[in-house]
Amino acid sequence: MKKVVVTGMGVISPIGKSLDEFRDSLKAGKSGVCKITQFDTSGHKARIAGEVKDFDSSVWIDKKDARKMARFTQFAVAGAAQALAQAGLLGADGRINGESERCAVVLGNGIGGFDVVTESFKKLFASGPDRMLPLTVPLMINNEAAGNVSMVYGLKGPAYTQATACASGADALGQALDLIRSGRCDVAVSGGTESCITSFGVGGFERLQALSTGRNDEPEKASRPFDADRDGFVLGEGAGILVLESEEHAKKRGQPILAEFAGYGGSADAYHITSPDPSGESGGRAIKLALADAGLKPEDVQYYNAHGTSTRINDVVETKMIKSAFGDHAYKLKISSTKSMTGHCVAGGGGLEAIASILAIREGFFPPTINLENPDPECDLDYVPNKSQCGEINAAMSANMGFGGHNGVVVFKKYEG
């Protein structure tokens, strides 16, 4: 079976629009949550989010092309530009330098272009269908992120979109891993992207009573995974994009390798449309499958990047998952939720949290769970409270759980070629 490695990473997030800025924010425990600026929040109970601030798509995308992309697609294309550049795969024309038919795109997106949907609904109800945006359909559908990354950079291998809600980014990485291992392609641009901070999106999550509404006046304190005073998640947005290659392909190019993508595990709760199975059994099984796929024992893993949404049920269930999969080692494991800083970026979270895990391995630090001031007694593991910690990491795991009972877990190892 082919070994798969990471050669490039790109970030668009509430705490940084570059890999270096993202890393520095993780180390500093910086919150990217603020009062919403993308729409008028009058009438909303939740008025805060993890917005990508001052995003100028023209830095990475031709202005004419950008007008044909929803915001979530722009994030993916911008993240892919960063990742492909770091991987040394872009030619002078800004397109793939190499055998394009052997380069795949596998991206996760849970929701699609809510900004486009919102705008077209307004026009439809106010003035009729003739006033809707002409590109409503191609802008809003969630496969357009993968399609546009393929078109912009000339990637002619398979181009897929994984849609498993908040697990989409992790599941997309798992699908890309299998594509390369099987020999169907040599390179894959993979990860997740999302942008749904609209009145429609926030209102929908409000109606589920899923969002934090009690800290609108102190937004940086609102996302507090594993804290007893948590009251819901904070919606975020962004993209985390990785370039994956077979080890053989990367070595042949002489490209520096950032980490080994060692394993993936997936499962379904078969339980409830929005709530995870309270036993944590299925999520724990996804962790065990990922460990087995990576050829690791529980004690081989030093860091676990939690799904850690800051909702009442998720954090307790995930703690059970970790205990069921890691046994006694759960109490020695360093665990943190970087959503405490970024908010919940839905499908984008899978890519961003995978990148955070790789940065932790490479830089030798455990990102913190900020705002963990009053630990929940049911969440009794080491969640790296409030400040990052230094330490050697040989293997790190990132887990994501999605509405519908989807669980996706990825494992990365320090590369020793």
Please state the length of the chain.
417
List the structure tokens of 340. Answer: 């405490």
> Do 94 and 82 form a contact (C-beta atoms < 8 A)?
no
Q: Of 171, 223, 104, which is closest to residue 347 (Cα–Cα)?
A: 171
Q: Under DSSP, is residue 271 helix (H, G, I), strand (E, B) or coil? A: coil
In this structure, the strands spanning 259-268 and 4-12 are antiparallel
Say if CB 367 and CB 336 are below 8 A apart.
yes
Distances in Å between the Cα of 94 and the Cα atoms of 69, 146, 153 are: 18, 17, 7
Residues ≥6 apart with Cβ < 8 Å to 40: 199
Q: Which of 103, 166, 345, 379 is catalytic?
A: 166
**Cα of 315 vs its chain's centroid, Å:** 18
DSSP codes, 52-91: -TT--GGGTS-HHHHTTS-HHHHHHHHHHHHHHHHTT-B-
**Exactly one of 249, 344, 345, 379 is catalytic; which is it?**
344
CA distance 221 to 15: 15
Q: Where are the alpha helices (DSSP H) in 233-369?
A: 247-253, 281-294, 312-326, 339-342, 347-363
| CB-CB contact of 183 with 361 (8 Å) | no
Give the distance, in angstroms, between the CA of residue 52 and the centroid of all CA atoms in the same chain: 14
Residue given tokens 């077979």 in the structure block = 246
CA 387 vs. chain centroid, Å, equals: 22
Choosing from 103, 307, 345, 379, the catalytic residue is 307
Per the annotation, the verdict on 344 as an active-site residue is yes
Quick one: which of 346, 375, 365, 342 has its CA closest to 30?
Answer: 342
Reduced to 3 states (helix: H, G, I; strand: E, B; else coil), residue 48 is strand
CA nearest neighbour of 415 among 85, 3, 87, 45: 3
**Residues taking part in catalysis:** 166, 307, 344
